[in-house]
């Protein structure tokens, strides 16, 4: 999943980027509201984490402009303003969730998992296809009850495919969910990750759609 982080506090943004990347998210960061709107129009992320107190445009104004163009993009507001009125204003402007600073990383991750489930057909923390079970809360994958050792990107790639079981995921979409801006991506990086997953999961789960991308068939995700 690709997240756009809109936060002008550089130390906080650096810490969030590092923590989110550690659990598999691809995170891009901008410091101003206008930059955020430009970035979203150029390359729509899967989710936006938006600070209210920005140096150029108030985060609520950014949210209203964003919603005028895109009613569906999930937005989680971050703010030091913790009054009920501020929370109501954020939610009424189109935010999907609201988190007051300071907060625990575990709470942010839990809220992100809830927003992710809204994006997919998966409505629990476990995604099951055949003998494969991916648990988003535990960040684990098991095959026939045995836990597998997956790299961060292998886990996120498999997660994207399982959440969209039955639908083809293009190379461009998968790469966008695995890599942040500026990261060097070799031409065969995606194929290498797919190869490693097949070695660990068997060759039957992930199907190649030649010239397009990949898909996982089936069942109840």
Q: How confident is the model at residue 221 (pLDDT cuts 50, 70, 90)?
A: very low
For the sheet containing 206-209, what is the strand order? 169-170, 213-216, 206-209
- Reported as a single tens digit per residue, the pLDDT across 173-191 is 898 888 888 777 788 899 9
Residue 209 confidence (pLDDT) above 90: yes
Q: Is 221 a domain residue?
A: no
Contact call for residues 90 and 69 (beta carbons, < 8 A)? no
Weakest mean pLDDT among 50-54, 97-101, 121-125, 196-200:
121-125
87: phi then psi, degrees, rounded to nearest 5: -65, -45
Domain match, 95 and 43 both: yes
Contact 47, 3 (CB under 8 A): yes
Same-domain status, 141 and 191: yes
CA 150 vs CA 21, 73, 198: distances in Å: 15, 29, 11
Q: Degrees (nearest 5) of the Cα angle 200, 47, 151?
A: 20
Domain boundary among 99, 119, 139: 119
Which tokens in the block code for residue 138?
């535990």
The neighbouring-strand residues paired with 5 are: 29, 49
**pLDDT over threshold 60, residue 128:** yes
Task: Report pTM.
Answer: 0.75
Q: pLDDT above 90 covers what percent of the chain?
A: 59
Count of domains in the chain? 2
Query: Are 10 and 99 in the same domain?
Result: yes
């Amino acid at each position: 999943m690709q997240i756009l982080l809109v936060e002008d506090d550089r130390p906080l943004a650096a810490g969030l980027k590092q923590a989110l990347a550690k659990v598999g998210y691809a995170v891009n960061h901008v410091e101003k509201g206008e930059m955020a709107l430009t970035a979203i129009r150029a390359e729509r992320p899967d989710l936006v984490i938006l600070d209210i107190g920005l140096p150029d445009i108030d985060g609520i104004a950014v949210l209203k402009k964003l919603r005028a163009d895109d009613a569906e993009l999930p937005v989680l507001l971050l703010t030091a303003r913790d009054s009920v009125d501020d929370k109501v204003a954020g939610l009424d402007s189109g935010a999907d969730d609201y988190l007051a600073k300071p907060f625990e990383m575990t709470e942010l991750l839990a809220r992100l998992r809830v927003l992710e489930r809204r994006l997919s057909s998966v409505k629990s923390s476990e995604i099951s296809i055949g003998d494969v079970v991916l648990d988003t809360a535990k960040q684990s994958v098991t095959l026939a009850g045995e836990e597998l050792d997956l790299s961060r990107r292998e886990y996120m790639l498999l997660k994207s495919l399982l959440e969209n079981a039955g639908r083809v995921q293009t190379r461009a979409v998968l790469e966008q969910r695995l890599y942040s801006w500026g990261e060097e991506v070799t031409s065969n990086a995606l194929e290498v990750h797919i190869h490693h997953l097949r070695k660990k999961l068997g060759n039957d789960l992930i199907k190649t759609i030649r010239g397009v991308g990949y898909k996982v068939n089936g069942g109840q995700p």
